[in-house]
RNA sequence: GCGCCCGUAGCUCAGUAGGAUAGAGCGUCGGUUUCCUAAACCGAAGGUCGCAGGUUCGAAUCCUGCCGGGCGUACCA
């Protein structure tokens, strides 16, 4: 099914070309800014009129005269300085509704792209030996949403979880493992089931020992070398740490309904053997040079505080490599081995300079074209005090704790609102609502802005929140249940609709919005902005609520009820699809 | 200093290649329940879109300057 807006754009575009005698101009069909202007408005007449030096309203008249559109719209109206307003015919909307309902692929009438691309999405990227914290939330869920959107559009998405699993800090940690082993009583092997909390404690111990104990520091250095060369027990310790931590990642991802799996993990260590080659190649290409002992690329257009060229450092003066080096290696790998047409990096906005430089250097080296590299930046999660969210002790808020609190708070609301539900159902609702609220609040904010994290707001029943959306869905499901209780065969009845009967304003309004799901997905995907999707869904839920209060479903007459059941069903399917397929938020049948 | 982002209702925020009278939610005020979940719905009040110029048929949106805030800016990631 071709999106309505695209059909309109084509038809208007053709009529415009005729009217302007070959002078080209975009139709610029947009959703109407106000319902009283209809459903869509044509913004392209005025620029075109300017080109042909004619009064815009006269041009609009000419366009309308040749325009063949009465199969879709009511008579177009010219308004204001030269807008053409378009209002969809109820008949057309009714037909569309049935097409969406008949969509055998269950895609709600949304076509796949005709130009599928291979798109690498780099997101989440937590660190080994540490718990995931609130700083990983946005990258993880926004990245996941982008993957889901692109995949639904038909692209080949390659998720890459670029975890921090390499670096000198692991030398310390491995050295501590070794120490514990040596000091353990004979026969008592190191506990292989150590938890992440243990590892975090080890981490603290190791840091302190490293500072205060020379022998330990030496062992740590040996361990770093050992990790590189693969000698000694070091790699075994490291693998154990990785295993324990990734298990924790998995738990968090599952809880968040994020589609990241173990096979998407390709951490920094994966690229360790490519780093020297990256430096060598950049040197060979005369892009990298030595400066103050470090190997640097000085891409044009970047300046430091003193106005000197700003370096992109790829090798430290002590010979060690940096994340710049790893990122270059990863980038090259993704283009050359994963055959990426596009690479999307989902990280916080503070890293934008790094990515600007990375992309520039990659382009200079000929590893990628600039327009295939995209940094999707996002703002910070702030506490009520307007500063980055932290615990009272000033520590990072652990994601696990944050989600647990969200679920607990949701549980309290369920207990209050619906105390008679069975306990396991309450838990299910609390989980969906609590986790959903955290995710939805993040998605519904503008990606690029910081936002203030507030359990109270995200769990509110009013407004653009997960519970509101989930409630709308649950109410529809309740209608279906009630219908069945009354002996109405809901599926049968709506499947027999041959012509949707959209006479009530609330019905037509809801139906029109359902037809436009594809537009919301397109808008969200093209700018990588989940909030366009949440805005659409919220509007859908609002329109459903209006319909719900104005149009009885089960008590409607035989001429009305089938269409209303159909509207309910398609609304439920759209909400469910948007929430659970595209945003990764669970819906519940009952709240 | 330079660079990036931001400044929209009392509060939190939307505003989809510049479009018509700038929208929600919270809060405030008023109304709706013998009726499919009131975790809902309807209505009202509330704005010099930081300030000043500019570009043009038209600017919250683009350009310039200023004010205010956040972040970044050579060997952390």
Q: Which of A315, A305, A312 is nearest to A276 (CA)?
A: A315
**Which tokens sit at A332?**
């090259």
Burial (CB count within 10 angstroms: exposed 0-12, middle 13-18, buried 19+), residue A226: buried
Q: Which of A576, A551, A574 is nearest to A564 (CA)?
A: A551
Same fold across A4-88 and A268-378:
no
Q: Which fold has domain A4-88?
A: Gyrase A; domain 2 (3.30.1360)
pLDDT at site A28: 93
> Measured CA to C1', what is the nucleotide nearest A454?
B12
Residues A443, A142: Cα–Cα separation, whole Å: 7
Return chain A residues 127..146 having CB < 7 Å to nucleic acid strand B.
none
- Alpha carbon distances (Å) from A392 to A132, A395, A412, A429: 18, 7, 23, 29
Return chain A residues 441..460 having CB < 7 Å to nucleic acid strand B.
444-446, 448-452, 457, 460
A146 CA from B41 C1′ (Å):
34
Return chain A residues 232..291 having CB < 7 Å to nucleic acid strand B.
268, 291
Can you tell me which residue has the tokens 């796949």?
A112
CB of A316 within 7 Å of some strand B atom:
yes
A520 CA from B9 C1′ (Å):
27
Mention every residue, 6+ apart, whose C-beta is less than 8 A from residue A94. A499, A500, A501, A502, A511
CB of A28 within 7 Å of some strand B atom:
yes
A351 CA from B71 C1′ (Å):
9
pLDDT per residue over A324-344, tens digit each? 999 999 999 999 999 999 999
* Confidence at A124, pLDDT banded by 50, 70, 90: very high
**Is residue A196 within 8 Å of residue A131, measured between CB atoms?**
yes
> Measured CA to C1', what is the nucleotide nearest A468?
B39
Res. A384: pLDDT tops 90: no
CB of A169 within 7 Å of some strand B atom:
no
Return chain A residues 40..59 having CB < 7 Å to nucleic acid strand B.
41, 43, 46-47, 50
> Measured CA to C1', what is the nucleotide nearest A417?
B39
What percentage of residues in chain A have a pLDDT greater than 70? 98
A99 CA from B39 C1′ (Å):
33
Res. A551: pLDDT tops 90: yes
Res. A211: pLDDT tops 70: yes
Strands A83-86 and A77-79: antiparallel
**Which tokens sit at A591?**
């709240």
pLDDT at site A23: 83
pLDDT at site A22: 78
pLDDT at site A151: 97
SS3 A348: strand
CB of A354 within 7 Å of some strand B atom:
yes
Which span out of A182-186, A202-206, A374-378 was modeled with the highest average pLDDT?
Answer: A374-378
pLDDT at site A193: 61
> Measured CA to C1', what is the nucleotide nearest A549?
B41
CB of A311 within 7 Å of some strand B atom:
yes
Can you tell me which residue has the tokens 């509110």?
A460
Span of A10-19, A21-30, A291-300 with lowest mean pLDDT = A21-30
A327 CA from B17 C1′ (Å):
31
Res. A192: pLDDT tops 60: no
A308 CA from B65 C1′ (Å):
26
Res. A194: pLDDT tops 90: no
- Dmax over CA atoms of chain A, in Å, equals 96
CB of A317 within 7 Å of some strand B atom:
yes
Res. A586: pLDDT tops 80: yes
> Measured CA to C1', what is the nucleotide nearest A547?
B41
CB of A505 within 7 Å of some strand B atom:
no
Residue-range domain boundaries for chain A = 4-88, 123-135+144-165+167-264, 268-378, 399-583
pLDDT at site A364: 96
CB of A484 within 7 Å of some strand B atom:
no
> Measured CA to C1', what is the nucleotide nearest A479?
B36
What percentage of residues in chain A have a pLDDT greater than 90? 77
Res. A187: pLDDT tops 80: no
A44 CA from B39 C1′ (Å):
44
Q: What is the CATH number of domain A399-583?
A: 1.10.730.10
Burial (CB count within 10 angstroms: exposed 0-12, middle 13-18, buried 19+), residue A436: buried
A364 CA from B41 C1′ (Å):
59
A583 CA from B6 C1′ (Å):
26
Task: Flag whether the ipTM exceeds 0.90.
Answer: yes
A450 CA from B71 C1′ (Å):
11
**Is residue A42 within 8 Å of residue A84, measured between CB atoms?**
yes
- Architecture of the domain spanning A268-378: 3-Layer(aba) Sandwich (3.40)
CB of A35 within 7 Å of some strand B atom:
no
CB of A79 within 7 Å of some strand B atom:
yes
Return chain A residues 80..119 having CB < 7 Å to nucleic acid strand B.
80-81, 83, 85
pLDDT at site A191: 53
Per DSSP, the residues of A108-168 read TTPPPPSS--EEEEE----BTTS--BGGGHHHHHHHHHHHHHHHHTT-EEEEEB--B--ST
pLDDT at site A588: 96
Res. A186: pLDDT tops 60: no
Res. A144: pLDDT tops 60: yes
A552 CA from B37 C1′ (Å):
14
pLDDT at site A184: 63
pLDDT at site A353: 94
Higher pLDDT, A583 or A229: A583
CB of A336 within 7 Å of some strand B atom:
no
Q: Whole-number mean pLDDT of chain A? A: 92
Residues A91, A451: Cα–Cα separation, whole Å: 43
Mean pLDDT for the stretch of residues A371-397: 89
**Is residue A426 within 8 Å of residue A411, measured between CB atoms?**
yes
Res. A188: pLDDT tops 70: no
Mention every residue, 6+ apart, whose C-beta is less than 8 A from residue A422. none
> Measured CA to C1', what is the nucleotide nearest A429?
B39
Mean pLDDT for the stretch of residues A534-563: 94
Mean pLDDT for the stretch of residues A138-158: 97
Which strand B bases fall within 7 angstroms of a protein CB? 1-6, 12-21, 23-27, 35-42, 56-58, 70-77
pLDDT per residue over A36-74, tens digit each? 899 999 999 999 998 888 999 999 999 999 999 999 999
Q: Which long-range contacts (CB under 8 A, 24 or more apart) does A229-237 make?
A: A233/A174, A233/A178, A234/A171, A234/A174, A234/A178, A237/A173, A237/A174, A237/A177, A237/A178
Res. A185: pLDDT tops 80: no
Residues A155, A90: Cα–Cα separation, whole Å: 34
Mean pLDDT for the stretch of residues A109-132: 95
CB of A420 within 7 Å of some strand B atom:
no
Mean pLDDT for the stretch of residues A407-435: 94
């Amino acid at each position: 099914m071709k999106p309505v807006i695209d059909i309109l754009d084509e038809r208007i575009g053709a009529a415009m070309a005729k009217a302007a005698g070959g002078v080209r101009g975009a139709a610029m069909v947009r959703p109407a800014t106000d319902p009283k202007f209809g459903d869509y408005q044509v913004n392209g007449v005025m620029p075109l009129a300017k080109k042909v030096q004619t009064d815009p309203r006269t041009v609009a008249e000419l366009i309308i005269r040749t325009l063949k559109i009465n199969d879709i719209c009511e008579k177009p109206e010219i308004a204001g300085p030269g807008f053409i307003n378009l209002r969809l015919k109820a008949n057309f909307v009714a037909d569309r509704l049935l097409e969406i309902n008949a969509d055998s692929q269950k895609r709600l009438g949304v076509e796949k792209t005709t130009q599928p691309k291979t798109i690498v999405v780099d997101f989440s990227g937590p660190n080994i030996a540490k718990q995931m914290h609130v700083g990983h939330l946005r990258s993880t869920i926004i990245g996941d949403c982008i993957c889901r959107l692109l995949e639904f559009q038909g692209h080949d998405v390659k998720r890459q979880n670029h975890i921090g699993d390499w670096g000198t800090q692991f030398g310390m940690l491995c050295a501590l493992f070794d120490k514990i082993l040596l000091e353990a009583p004979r026969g008592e092997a190191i506990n292989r089931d150590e938890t992440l909390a243990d590892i975090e404690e080890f981490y603290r111990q190791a840091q302190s020992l490293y500072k205060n104990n020379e022998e330990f520091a030496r062992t740590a250095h040996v361990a770093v070398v050992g990790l590189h060369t693969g000698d000694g027990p070091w790699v075994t310790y490291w693998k154990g740490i990785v295993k324990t931590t990734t298990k924790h990642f998995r738990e968090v991802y599952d809880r968040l309904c994020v589609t990241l799996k173990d096979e998407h993990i390709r951490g920094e260590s994966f690229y360790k053997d490519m780093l020297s080659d990256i430096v060598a190649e950049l040197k060979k290409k005369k892009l990298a040079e030595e400066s103050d002992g470090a190997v640097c690329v000085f891409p044009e257009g970047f300046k430091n505080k003193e106005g000197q060229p700003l370096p992109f450092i790829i090798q430290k003066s002590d010979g060690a490599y940096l994340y710049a080096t790893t990122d270059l290696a990863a980038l090259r790998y993704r283009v050359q081995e994963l055959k990426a047409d596009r690479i999307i990096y989902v990280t916080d906005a503070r890293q934008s300079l790094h990515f600007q430089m990375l992309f520039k250097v990659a382009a200079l080296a000929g590893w990628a074209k600039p327009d295939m590299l995209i940094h999707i930046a996002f703002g910070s999660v702030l506490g009520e005090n307007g500063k980055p969210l932290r615990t009272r002790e000033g520590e990072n808020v652990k994601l696990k704790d944050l989600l647990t609190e969200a679920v607990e708070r949701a549980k309290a609301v369920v207990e209050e609102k619906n105390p008679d539900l069975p306990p396991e159902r309450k838990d299910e609702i609390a989980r969906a609502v609590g986790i959903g609220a955290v995710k939805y609040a993040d998605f519904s904010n503008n990606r690029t802005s910081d936002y203030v994290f507030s359990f109270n707001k995200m769990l509110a029943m009013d407004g653009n929140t997960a519970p509101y959306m989930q409630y709308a869905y649950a109410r529809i499901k309740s209608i279906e249940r009630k219908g069945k209780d009354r002996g109405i065969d809901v599926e049968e009845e709506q499947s027999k609709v041959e012509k949707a009967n959209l006479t009530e304003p609330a019905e037509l309004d809801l139906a029109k919005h359902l037809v436009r799901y594809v537009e919301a997905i397109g808008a969200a995907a093209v700018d990588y902005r989940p909030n366009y999707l949440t805005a659409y869904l919220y509007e859908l839920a609002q329109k459903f609520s209006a319909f719900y209060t104005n149009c009885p479903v089960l008590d409607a007459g035989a001429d009305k009820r089938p269409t209303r059941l159909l509207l309910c069903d398609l609304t439920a399917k759209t909400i469910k699809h948007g929430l659970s397929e595209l945003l990764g938020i669970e819906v519940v049948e009952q709240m």
